[in-house]
Structures are given as structure tokens and as C-alpha cells.
Amino acid sequence: MEGTAVLGRLTWQVAQVTETRQETRRVKTIALDLDDWRGHRAGQHVDVRLTAEDGYQAERSYSIASAPEQGLELTVERLDDGEVSPYLVDELRNGDGLEIRGPIGGYFVWEARDMRPVFLAAGGSGVVPLMAIIRHRIAVGSSTPMRLLYSSRSLDDVIYRVELDQVAANDNGIEIVHTLTRAQPEGWSGYSRRIDNDMLREVAWSPSESPSVFVCGATRFVEAVAEGLVGLGYDPRSIKTERYGGTGG
Amino acid sequence: MQTEDMKLDGSAIGGMMLELFGREMTTAVSTCRSCGASGPLAVVDVYVQAPGTVVRCRTCESVLMKIVRGPDRTWIDFSGVRVIELES
């Protein structure tokens, strides 16, 4: 049976949807249960495959949102012209089956034994794998300092807003800094522009602290942040990036 | 959609590579035959809008690999890669 278990990890298997939660207007979290799930690492993703009645198949990758200690949850943003995400966000119900493959990836992964301060930069739904990292840090009781700089269009578009507010309020060495690029509520005192070099200089750790960095968002966001950090003196090898948004969701 | 938005990371082919090679491949270090740059396969540019998947070097943009999947077989052209280094 061991051989079967190994194969299960490598190929497609059917997960059961156990819960769905609306995070924002366009974003939903989907909790999944699998018979043969051997756990994941914070930052990894899975592939999801949908098959139409005529046999047409579409595959997309989605970051795992949950900590390894919390089972398997994906958070999916609905892209209006997408082939997969509208189904996941609008149609999927508790008890439905969903074909998945994974977990996948070993590069964009944070291990709790890494004691370096961590700088996380998220654009939109790029926050998902970074949330897995934050949740993992809390779940294992790590004291590694972490800072998240999170760029959203508006306050209503902030994914995990309540949980992030709680994390920040607990003062456990995790700092959350928001920037709202399109609309700000009245009295907003935070950043209200796209992430730029001045913001990185103010928020990111000093390069002298040898931080590790995880950046996730659209291509242009990721490249701007990575170039900005290198300009501040960060070692390019300490900056791990993951881009999304190209596969039509 | 802009062409630049069609560019993905190596993680986008991680699942397919896992299935084909039976192991995590995004941490494998590849060396570009054209410019000699080396790095984990997570750090390459992947284009999936072609009939197959095209993997390019992030340093010099040369084609590292082309992968075409058929219903019952897969063709992998590794001719742009000089070496792949795997942890054993």
C-alpha cells in the first residue's frame, strides 16, 4: 500500500470540500479533506483540475493558505475571464469533490527553524502563501520577527482582514503594514499608494539584519519589490518571489 | 491581458514535473546552456499559452526546455539545459 500512497501524492486525487468561507467579494477560502494527505510546507501550492462534460480539462495552481498544522485550505480569487476560479468561487459546495495534485514546491517555502527576520510583501491575493507562513509561525510558537507589507486596492479587498488585525494586535513579533492603492476609508492613516522604494526603506528590515524575503503578487508587483529591495542592499539570493495571475485563473 | 502577464514561475510546472519525474523538481538547480546562469527551476520564466509549455532562462531568455503533453505521452526537449543538479 505504500506504493499507492506515494503515487497518490504524485498524481491527481479527489478531495472533498468540507467548508467554504467568503473572504472578500471576489475571494473565497475552500477547506478540503483528502484520504491521502501527507501534509505540506508553508508556501507550497497545489494544482486543481476541472473536467468538463465533454472531457475538456483545465488546470490551475493555487497557493495553500493554511498552516501545515491546520489541514488543507486554499484561498481563491475569482477572475472574471478565468476558466477555473469562477467555478471554485461561485459553484463549489460542501461535499463536492475536487481533483487536486500536490503539495508542490520547495523553493518558496519558509521553515520555522530559519531564525532570520522575515519580510513578506504581498500584492492582492499574493497574500495567500504568506498567510500560510504567518499561520505556521504562530502555530509552532516561533518568535522569529516578521513584517508583512500588504498592498490592496481598498479596505474591502483586504483578504484575512480580521485575522490580520488580531495578529497585529497580539504584539507577538508580527507586524502588519497595509497600503491601499485605489480607495481609502475616511481617516485612513496608512499608506495609500503602490509599494515604492521609499515605502520599502521605511518598512523592510535593514539589510544588515540578513532578513529572508518572500514576495508574492502580479509580475509587475513582484519585480518592482524585488528590484527595490536589491537597491536597498538586499542580497538577491535572500529574496524569494512567486508570481501569479498569468494563467487566466 | 498583456503578454508580460503570461509569464509564470517554475512553480507553475512543478505539479507536472512532480508527476513526470516522481520528485519535487522546482528545487533542482539547472544551468543554462546559452549563458551559464544556474538556479532552482522555481526561478525560470514559464509560458503556457503556446501549444506546449516553454521554459526560458530568466537571465538571458534563451529557451531551456519545451514540454508537450499528448493524451498518452509527453515530449520533453531539454536541449537548452546544460546540467540539472538534484539532491539525492
For A6, other C-beta atoms within 10 Å of its C-beta total 13
User: How far apart (Å, rounded) are the C-alpha atoms in residues A165 and A180?
Assistant: 15
Mean pLDDT, residues A86-114 taken together: 96
A246 and B6 in contact by Cβ < 8 A? yes
**pLDDT, position A248:** 46
A217 Cβ under 8 Å from any chain B Cβ: no
pLDDT of residue A171 exceeding 70, the answer is: yes
> How far from A12 is each of A47, A91, A157, A203, CA to CA, in Å?
9, 21, 32, 41
Mean pLDDT, residues B6-13 taken together: 88
Mutate to test the interface with A, among B7, B8, B11, B55 (most CBs of A within 10 A): B11
Model confidence pLDDT, tens digit, residues B37-50: 999 999 999 998 77
**pLDDT, position A36:** 81
Residues of B in contact with A241 (CB under 8 A): 9, 43
Of residues A175 and B70, more confidence is placed in A175
ipTM of the complex: 0.89
pLDDT class for A244, splitting at 50, 70, 90? confident
User: How far apart (Å, rounded) are the C-alpha atoms in residues B82 and B8?
Assistant: 22
Q: Which of B7, B19, B27 sits opposite A246 (nearest CB)?
A: B7
Between CA B28 and CA A169, with CA A120 as vertex, the angle to 5 degrees is: 145
pLDDT of residue A160 exceeding 70, the answer is: yes
The C-alpha of B71 sits at a distance from chain A's nearest C-alpha, in angstroms, of 11
Cell numbers 459553484 label which residue? A91
Count contacts between A and B (CB, < 8 Å): 68
Mean pLDDT, residues A176-198 taken together: 97
**pLDDT, position B48:** 85
CATH topology of domain A13-104: Elongation Factor Tu (Ef-tu); domain 3 (2.40.30)
Residue A119 DSSP label: E
First vs last C-alpha separation in chain A? 35
3 state DSSP class of A121: strand
**What are residue B76's DSSP bridge partners?**
B67
Model confidence pLDDT, tens digit, residues A194-224: 999 999 999 999 999 999 999 999 989 999 9
The C-alpha of B43 sits at a distance from chain A's nearest C-alpha, in angstroms, of 8
Work out whether strand B7-8 and strand A13-24 pair parallel, antiparallel, or are unpaired: unpaired
| pTM metric for this prediction | 0.93
Mean pLDDT, residues A116-124 taken together: 97
pLDDT of residue B4 exceeding 60, the answer is: no
User: How far apart (Å, rounded) are the C-alpha atoms in residues A35 and A21?
Assistant: 22
Share of chain A above pLDDT 90, in %: 86
Q: Which CATH architecture has domain A118-243?
A: 3-Layer(aba) Sandwich (3.40)
Residue intervals in chain A for CATH 2.40.30.10: 13-104
Stated as kind and residue range, the H or E segment containing A86 is helix A85-86
User: How far apart (Å, rounded) are the C-alpha atoms in residues B64 and B60?
Assistant: 10
Residue A86 identity: P
Q: What is the mean pLDDT of chain A?
A: 93
Closest by CA to B31, choosing from B62, B74, B76, is B62
3 state DSSP class of B87: coil
Residues of B in contact with A11 (CB under 8 A): 19
pLDDT of residue B3 exceeding 80, the answer is: no
Cβ B11 vs Cβ A242: under 8 Å: yes
B4 and A243 in contact by Cβ < 8 A? no
Cell numbers 498524481 label which residue? A11
Q: Which of B8, B22, B26 sits opposite A243 (nearest CB)?
A: B8
Stated as kind and residue range, the H or E segment containing A135 is helix A127-139
Mean pLDDT, residues A109-135 taken together: 97
pLDDT of residue A164 exceeding 60, the answer is: yes
A245 Cβ under 8 Å from any chain B Cβ: yes
Cell numbers 497600503 label which residue? A179
Model confidence pLDDT, tens digit, residues A15-60: 999 999 999 999 999 999 998 888 999 999 999 999 999 999 898 9
Residue intervals in chain A for CATH 3.40.50.80: 118-243
pLDDT class for B17, splitting at 50, 70, 90? very high
Residues of A in contact with B15 (CB under 8 A): 46-47, 59, 61, 101-102, 104
**pLDDT, position A3:** 47
Residue A143 identity: S
A218 and B5 in contact by Cβ < 8 A? yes
